[in-house]
Structure 1
Amino acid sequence: MSKSVDEEETVNGNVGEKPVCLGAVPPPDLPMFEFVVEHTLHGTRVDTFLARHFRNYSSWRLMRVVRAGMVWVDHIPADETARVFAGQTVSVQLIEPPDRVLESDPSEVPIIYSDPWMLVVDKPAGLIAHPTGEFQVNSLANVLQTYVDRLTPARGLLRPGIVHRLDRQTSGLMVVALTHQSHRNISMGFEAGRVSKSYLALTEGVFASTSGSIKHPI
């Protein structure tokens, strides 16, 4: 029995939203990604697993990709109820753009260190770390989104994961994770106290005492 347009749209998720290329073969130039399921994500649903690795995609958007037949677990097409387990290989061909990507910011910050898993950047004073309030575009996260977009074949495939805080008016080094696993490992290192931070204050004038407390913004 054939379905009406309204019925098909409701089955696919939200009314008025249908997966792109449903039941069709996507263009060959679309990138294919493969992941081996980590122990920390053992037993998660496949769209939730993918959302951990593609942080600019919502689980709902990734579920549309699953329903379109563009996700495989150990080379077998996954359905929307599929769960993944440690050691399995998950392959995905992204036929839709990300729906949570940060706005681009063409500003630049010095990259002190980089590898496939993380960056260390030198944040200048006056630059807020994350978009908030009146700073929805001019943040370090927006600048880094522009940077990582140059490393991938399409915009929004990576989302920079800033793992610790640094006040807007404070300059200094910040660690940025590029993958789900590195974000988790670095965050756990900070939480466990395995990462130490040092601050250097430049002062002017002569202090009346060699010790004490400063109760003003620095």
Structure 2
Amino acid sequence: MEKMQWSVELEHQGTRIDKWVADQNQEWSRSQVQQWIKESHLLVNGSAVKVNQKVKQGDEITLTIPEPEPLDVEPEKMELEIYFEDEDVLVVNKPSGMVVHPAPGHLSGTLVNGLMAHCNDLSGINGVMRPGIVHRIDKDTSGLLMVAKNDVAHESLVQQLVDKTVLRKYRALVHGVIPHEKGTIEAPLGRDPKDRQKMAVVDQGKEAVTHFQVLERFKNHTYVECQLETGRTHQIRVHMRYIGFPLVGDPKYGPRKTIDVDGQALHAETLGFEHPQTKEFVSFQAPLPERFAQILDNFRKNS
């Protein structure tokens, strides 16, 4: 169990306890904090409280995070589009609509379930829920992911992500016509203070850098390539919205009136990294999903 302690400052007096605690760590959802409060894992001045209690200056907050309950993740036979595989690394093209790894209440139909049926030698660094998973892409984003098949490979790939040497290029279709040919968006990302189900550009967020280049312009849309320097949750989706060009089909960050692309028009097209064993730089490309490519073709015919 992990134990944390804080003291409330005057500027936060009157804030609900669940919101105050959730704001201490971007990885904690408010519903998760409320569950901890209900289970008395969170104490104020040594006593259990209700989720709607307001904090006061000088309150001593203690949170004891319980160990996660072990969950069984079952292998599931599914058709996976494997681009590369050896004893260290696997590269797979994830379809739009597939969740990368299981979570409580969602234990089947994920990429991890399929990987476990495909091979039994995935790295264990991220535990039973995320075996082999080095990085993620959103459920409704398609494209390439690297998967570690042993812990040495996992550590190498994670370090490359930290060092920003992994090549990750995405193709995206956005609303609006971008006037310049290329640009860089440097804007820190964190939980949206108005909606914790979303990410947003916030002053105290984590560093986030996205490079983009215009590939084609249409009447009301632009086809772009985005290259990630960092890999924050929803990074490209939030950054493109931030500069005024939200992704087509994005239900969370895009306009209500958009085009149905079975999710957002975002595809992880290119993935390159140094192989953990051979030290050779390898790269892979996956073509656009059929629906995405069809929309572009329609735009070209009508332009």
TM-score (norm 2): 0.33
Larger RCO (CA within 8 A; separation ≥ 6)? 1
TM-score (norm 1): 0.45
